[in-house]
Amino acid sequence: MSDALLITVAGVGAEVMRTQQPHLPLLPEEVGEEYARAYAAGATIGHVHGRRPDGTPTQDLETFRAYSDAIRKRCPILQQFSTGGAVGMGVEERIPALELKPDMATLTLGTCNFGDDIFENSLPTIRTILERIRKYQIVPELEIFDVGMLATADVLFAKGLLTPPAHFDFVLGVPGAAAATAENLTHFARAIPAGCTWTVAGIGRRQTAMATMAIAMGGHVRVGFEDNIFYRKGELADSNARFVERVVRIAREVGREPATIEQARQILRIPLTSAA
């Protein structure tokens, strides 16, 4: 295990609105500034969703281009584009920005309930996204919201559509999917093929507990407004960087340092050729 800790900032998301979190970045300059703050605090991966100026979610190519340029102008954080978008989007609507060749892109390996909604990822949807990811030689992050999605990963490995070692993100605590418990995290971390790496994204008030467990277990961490808007009970965070700072403090207490960009590229096997 490398001791270097990957910290992903998921600072925009597709569901949280300004009415809930007034510091949510929406305009490209706001996203660029926010991701630069998170990078300065120790994040090495920026998970990117698109928003229109009024806050509604969009996976539009030009929005991603503007966000990506604004981030790159300010910091070298690795860029991971969402292919999940928002619930209800069709597959082709979710993936046009992949032609910008970001460092990474997400790939969710199954359908689950998502609160009152359904996050749809049928096998044909997964295959379409994966083909696009492979076309542009982007490093995927395999998003696992529930236990059946681990079985789909095994199928894709067996068919040679994915090749281990791969990087996983366990998203735990979405209402309707796997809960953010120590038992689930332990099971998921044990279930993936040897040599694979993983991050945990704990949703809501379980974010810090899940991050702390991941740090102790040798995994990696995702934080940010996409998953959690409160710094502590009843107190909104004033920046995504606050979450990153807290994770860095916890990690240092147990002897782990945030990864540098170079270390992150090595851990994730991201070549230097990505354009975004």
Query: For residue 114, which phi and psi values (nearest 5 degrees)?
Result: -140, 85
| Min separation Cβ 195 and Zn ion, Å | 25
Q: Does 119 bind ligand KMH (CB under 6 A)?
A: yes
169 binds ligand KMH (CB under 6 A): no
Number of residues interacting with Zn ion: please give it, by CB under 5 A. Answer: 1
For CA atoms 216, 219, 221, 226, the dihedral sign is: negative
Residue count, binding to ligand KMH (CB under 6 A): 12
Closest approach, Cβ 16 to Zn ion, in A, equals 11
Could you give the CA distance from residue 85 to residue 204 in angstroms, rounded to a whole number?
19
Q: Does 79 bind Zn ion (CB under 5 A)?
A: no
Q: Mask: binding to ligand KMH, 130-159, rule CB under 6 A, as x and -?
A: -------------x----------------
Task: Identify the CA nearest to 51 among candidates 226, 240, 243.
Answer: 226
Q: Which residue is nearest to Zn ion (CB)?
A: 82
The site string for ligand KMH over 54-93 (x = CB under 6 A, - otherwise) reads ----------------------------xxx-xx------
Q: Is 114 in the site for ligand KMH (CB under 6 A)?
A: yes
What is the nearest approach in angstroms of ligand KMH to the Cβ of residue 228?
13
Q: Is 82 in the site for Zn ion (CB under 5 A)?
A: yes
Among residues 6, 14, 241, 259, the one that binds ligand KMH under rule CB under 6 A:
14
> Considering the rule CB under 6 A, would residue 121 count as an interface residue with ligand KMH?
no
Q: Minimum distance between the CB of residue 11 and ligand KMH, rounded to whole angstroms?
A: 12
Three-state SS letters, 102-143 = CCEEEEECCCEEECCEEECCCHHHHHHHHHHHHHCCCEEEEE
Based on the shown chain and the rule CB under 5 A, indicate whether residue 240 belongs to the binding site for Zn ion.
no
- Rounded to the nearest 5 percent, the helix, strand and coil shares of the chain are 40, 20, 40
Tokens at 21, concatenated = 């979190």
Residue 65 to residue 98: CA distance in whole angstroms: 10
Which residues share a beta bridge with 253? none
Question: Per rule CB under 5 A, is residue 207 in the interface with Zn ion?
Answer: no
The contacts of residue 76 (CB under 8 Å, 6+ apart) are 39, 261
| Distance from C-alpha of 80 to C-alpha of 76, rounded to nearest angstrom | 12
4 vs 268 by CB, closer to ligand KMH: 268
If residue 170 lies in a helix (H) or strand (E), which one and from where to where?
A: strand 167-172
| 184 touches ligand KMH by CB under 6 A | no
Interface residues with ligand KMH (CB under 6 A) are 14-15, 82-84, 86-87, 106, 108, 114, 119, 143
Which residues lie near Zn ion (CB under 5 A)? 82
